[in-house]
């Protein structure tokens, strides 16, 4: 994805020819692994689960398409395709054939305001004003107005209702017309049909001076439906604005320095790995990279949650989104913008909004089946009452009531609205969720497994000295340690001023660093990696060994203190009936000492990555649903295999990519808080399903049996949707006792961005 992806709408129709269309779409796409490309398009007309299913199924039938996923919140479709198998222009063409407009994303046009919300609010205001006035006339009619007065009030109501329905019903009518035009049904079809039939029946009754008319039902239905749709849009837009404002943190351009010293301002999407960039004071870091010269203070709060500026100098690895506060920094880009830390955060937020979680899949399938079922039930009611009583007028009234009362709004909103609110709540507290399915998996865990170094401990071990070997070996070990991001290696490298670059050094995940030179093979790392298991090491603290050609030549000692919040959060998890395990590659003494300090009974030490996998598999075989929390390169396999996983934003790239949740404040409070929100969300989703089922169980038989008028049907159906939305909004409350005072990002950004992220 582009790091500026939240932009919108440049019409694909403006492209001159099919050939230029293909070329433009290829340029707009990004390259993935295995020769695939990914294209993202805006689809602003998506309104329900049936729309999503229609677009996704049509695109997935194309030979060139590997996967197509529609994000309802952001109104976009993301398509992975294979160039050469088909024409890229077939993708927007297929979407249009299903009846939906599609646009290329243009980040420069993302500042024009929310037109959808404006149109919804206007339609809602008109419907509310009209409903209030029509109800005044209806009350007068119900109070016993004579025939002439009654007819007059009905005609006045008609004069208000007809233009109101024509204007305020447009969000539903346009969607329904597109679906019917292409031989499909969506959730807006029964809504539109119910409103129009109620209006037409009311006009018929008014023309024939009947006792009752249902203008109030038609307009009231629109009013309450628009309330629900506006609520839903506001919740989704709140989550979407978080993504959009994250994207705005990335600069549009950056200064590139060429080998000959020449400088040129280039677009952010032109940055490639290895380019040398200049980051001026007050600028935000555009891509991930390593500082090669300069000293400055940087605000890393977006990345680590730490509000105190960090001193940055040569060799420091900066992540995109960090803000350079004082001096000028020269850095070498390690990744393009599309793969930067900031881009991955945006991607995580978008994935959470568009995920196909278990409950959401159930709701989507139910809503897709529901639309045709509604029409069949309404038709059955019409025919049953018509042939059974011979009164086709009553049959029509009851069929309209059934059509209105069975609109599947509450069912369609049950899961997505809860996940939208939950993901927003997590994001506000520095936790990013990969998808809704991960939230569901987190809700059912019964065991949490923690890595030690950098997770339960500060991750910044202090070098305490050399206890074995020649003191001259310290410089060799420190030079090897500079290759690795492991906390012990970082501490070792920091203890020596004279670091020599080691060519050909490579990190062996879970073991250490290896390099070969004229002296032979050097290794820095675990005791077994350096053949030092037989040599006695200090009981207190952790040890790192250096070997040459398989012979230990030096040993170094480190100490890493436990995080202040570790013990408290372990207790919180235990109070939630979560069993706790410690899985560490460190040696026995420091692991058991830490376990005792923070209150963990099940501690495992001297583990390799494969050992951690075996233990996790054993837990799974015993029926445990395990949450794995880790931050190292060696934790990546365990993070991937666990039932659900979390990692801090400071974790190695491979660890962040493997985790289901990323917490940016580098604080273990995130673990029990995420569990709290996950369990509450699961309860809210079940409650929403229950509300929808109970509503239909009671309302549908009453409507079919003729006990519900169109007006009552409109009020009851709309109320069920609003109840589902309000129930989901309860997720905004509570949980402060777990995470403490709400953490507000100290982000060096425009005031509007800071305000939105801190809300």
629 closest CA partner among 500, 492, 449:
449
- Distance separating alpha carbons of residues 748 and 410, to the nearest angstrom: 41
Catalytic residue among 451, 560, 631, 635: 451
Give the up-direction half-sphere exposure of residue 588: CA atoms within 13 A in the CB hemisphere: 5
Q: Residue 725 has which token pair?
A: 């939305």
Regarding beta strands 579-583 and 602-604, do their DSSP bridges make them parallel or antiparallel, or are they unpaired?
Answer: parallel
Q: Residue 95 has which token pair?
A: 């979407």
Q: Residue 559 has which token pair?
A: 């100490």
**C-alpha gyration radius of the chain:** 31
Residues, the chain: 759
- Distance separating alpha carbons of residues 429 and 674, to the nearest angstrom: 9
- Distance separating alpha carbons of residues 261 and 723, to the nearest angstrom: 64
321 closest CA partner among 304, 296, 297, 308:
304
Residues 6 or more apart whose CB falls under 8 angstroms from that of 681 comprise 418, 419, 422, 439, 443, 731
Residues 6 or more apart whose CB falls under 8 angstroms from that of 539 comprise 589
**DSSP assignment of 131-154:** HHHHHHHHHHHHTT--HHHHHHHH
370 sits in which H/E element: helix 358-389
Angle between helices 751-758 and 215-248 (to 10 degrees): 120
CB 211 within 8 A of CB 726: no
CB 320 within 8 A of CB 342: yes
CA dihedral 632, 633, 635, 639 (to 10 degrees): 110
**Cα dihedral sign, 234-235-236-238:** positive
Number of H helices, E strands in the chain: 26, 28
248 sits in which H/E element: helix 215-248
**Largest Cα–Cα distance in the chain?**
111
- Distance separating alpha carbons of residues 492 and 481, to the nearest angstrom: 6
Which residues are registered as beta bridge partners of 749?
none
Q: Residue 336 has which token pair?
A: 């393009």
Regarding beta strands 462-469 and 551-559, do their DSSP bridges make them parallel or antiparallel, or are they unpaired?
Answer: antiparallel
Regarding beta strands 103-104 and 37-42, do their DSSP bridges make them parallel or antiparallel, or are they unpaired?
Answer: antiparallel
For the chain, percent helix, then strand, then coil, each to nearest 5?
Answer: 50, 15, 30
288 is catalytic: no
Q: Residue 506 has which token pair?
A: 């490579």
- Distance separating alpha carbons of residues 688 and 727, to the nearest angstrom: 7
Residue 693's Cβ-count burial label (10 Å; 0-12, 13-18, 19+) is middle
Residue 715's Cβ-count burial label (10 Å; 0-12, 13-18, 19+) is buried
21 sits in which H/E element: helix 18-28
Residue with tokens 């040696």: 587
Q: Quick one: how far is CA 592 from the chain centroid?
A: 37
Regarding beta strands 276-279 and 253-257, do their DSSP bridges make them parallel or antiparallel, or are they unpaired?
Answer: antiparallel
Residues labelled catalytic: 451
């Amino acid at each position: 994805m582009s790091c500026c992806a939240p932009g919108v709408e440049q019409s694909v129709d403006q492209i001159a020819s099919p050939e230029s269309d293909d070329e433009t779409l290829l340029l707009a796409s990004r390259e993935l692994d295995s020769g695939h490309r990914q294209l993202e398009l805006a689809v602003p007309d998506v309104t329900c689960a049936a729309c999503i299913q229609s677009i996704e199924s049509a695109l997935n039938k194309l030979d060139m398409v590997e996967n197509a996923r529609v994000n309802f919140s952001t109104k976009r479709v993301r398509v992975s395709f294979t160039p050469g198998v088909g024409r890229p222009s077939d993708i927007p063409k297929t979407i249009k054939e299903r009846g939906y407009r599609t646009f290329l994303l243009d980040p420069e046009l993302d500042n024009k305001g929310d037109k959808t919300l404006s149109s919804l609010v206007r339609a809602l205001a008109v419907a509310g004003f009209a409903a209030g006035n029509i109800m005044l006339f209806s009350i007068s009619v119900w109070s016993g107005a004579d025939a002439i007065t009654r007819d007059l009030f009905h005609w006045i109501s008609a004069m208000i209702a007809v233009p109101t329905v024509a204007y305020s019903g447009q969000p539903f009518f346009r969607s329904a017309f597109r679906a019917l035009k292409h031989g499909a049904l969506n959730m807006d079809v029964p809504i539109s049909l119910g409103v129009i039939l109620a209006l037409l029946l009311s006009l018929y009754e008014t023309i024939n001076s009947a006792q009752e008319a249902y203008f109030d039902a038609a307009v009231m239905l629109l009013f309450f439906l628009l309330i629900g749709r506006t609520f839903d849009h506001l919740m989704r837009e709140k989550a979407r604005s978080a993504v959009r404002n994250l994207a705005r943190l990335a600069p549009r351009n950056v200064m590139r320095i060429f080998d000959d010293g020449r400088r040129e301002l280039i677009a952010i999407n032109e940055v490639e790995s290895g380019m040398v960039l200049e980051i001026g004071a007050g600028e935000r870091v555009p891509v991930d990279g390593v500082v090669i010269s300069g000293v400055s203070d940087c605000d890393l709060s977006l990345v680590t949650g730490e509000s105190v500026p960090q001193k940055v100098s040569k060799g420091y690895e900066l992540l995109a989104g960090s803000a350079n506060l004082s001096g000028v920094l020269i850095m070498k880009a390690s990744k393009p913008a599309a793969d930067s830390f900031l881009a991955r955060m945006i991607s995580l937020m978008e994935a959470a909004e568009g995920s196909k979680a278990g409950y959401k899949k159930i709701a989507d399938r139910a809503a897709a089946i529901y639309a045709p079922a509604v029409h069949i039930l309404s038709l059955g009611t019409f025919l049953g009452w018509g042939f059974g009583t011979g009164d086709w007028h009553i049959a029509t009234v009851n069929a309209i009531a059934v059509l209105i009362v069975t609109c599947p709004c509450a069912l369609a909103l049950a899961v997505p609205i809860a996940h939208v609110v939950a993901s927003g709540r997590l994001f506000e507290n520095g936790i990013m969720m990969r998808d809704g399915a991960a939230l569901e998996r987190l809700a059912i865990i019964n065991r949490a497994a923690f890595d030690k170094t950098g997770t339960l401990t500060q991750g910044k071990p202090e070098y305490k000295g050399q206890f074995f070997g020649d003191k001259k070996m310290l410089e060799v070990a420190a030079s090897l340690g500079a290759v690795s991001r492991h906390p012990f290696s970082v501490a070792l490298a920091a203890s020596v001023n004279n670091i020599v670059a080691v060519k050909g050094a490579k990190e062996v995940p879970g073991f250490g660093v290896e390099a070969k030179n004229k002296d032979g093979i050097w290794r820095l790392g675990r005791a077994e990696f350096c053949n030092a298991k037989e040599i006695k090491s200090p009981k207190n603290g952790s040890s790192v060994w250096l070997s040459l050609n398989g012979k230990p030549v030096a040993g170094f000692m480190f100490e890493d203190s436990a995080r202040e919040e570790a013990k408290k959060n372990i207790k919180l998890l235990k109070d939630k009936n979560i069993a706790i395990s410690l899985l560490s590659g460190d040696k026995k003494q420091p692991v058991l000492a830490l376990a005792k300090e923070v209150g963990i009974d099940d501690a495992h030490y001297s583990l390799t990555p494969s050992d951690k996998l075996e233990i996790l598999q054993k837990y799974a075989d015993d029926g445990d649903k395990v949450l794995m929390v880790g931050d190292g390169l060696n934790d990546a396999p365990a993070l991937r295999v666990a039932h659900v996983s979390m990692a801090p934003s400071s974790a190695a790239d491979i660890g962040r990519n493997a985790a289901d949740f990323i917490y940016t404040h580098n604080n273990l409070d995130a673990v029990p808080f995420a569990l709290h929100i996950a369990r509450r969300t699961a309860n809210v989703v079940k409650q929403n399903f229950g509300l929808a089922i109970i509503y239909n169980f009671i309302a549908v038989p009453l409507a079919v049996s003729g006990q519900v008028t169109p007006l009552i049907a409109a009020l009851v159906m709309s109320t069920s949707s609003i109840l589902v939305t309000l129930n989901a909004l309860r997720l905004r409350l509570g949980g402060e006792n777990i995470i403490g005072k709400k953490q507000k990002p100290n982000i060096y950004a425009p005031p509007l961005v800071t305000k939105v992220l801190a809300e």
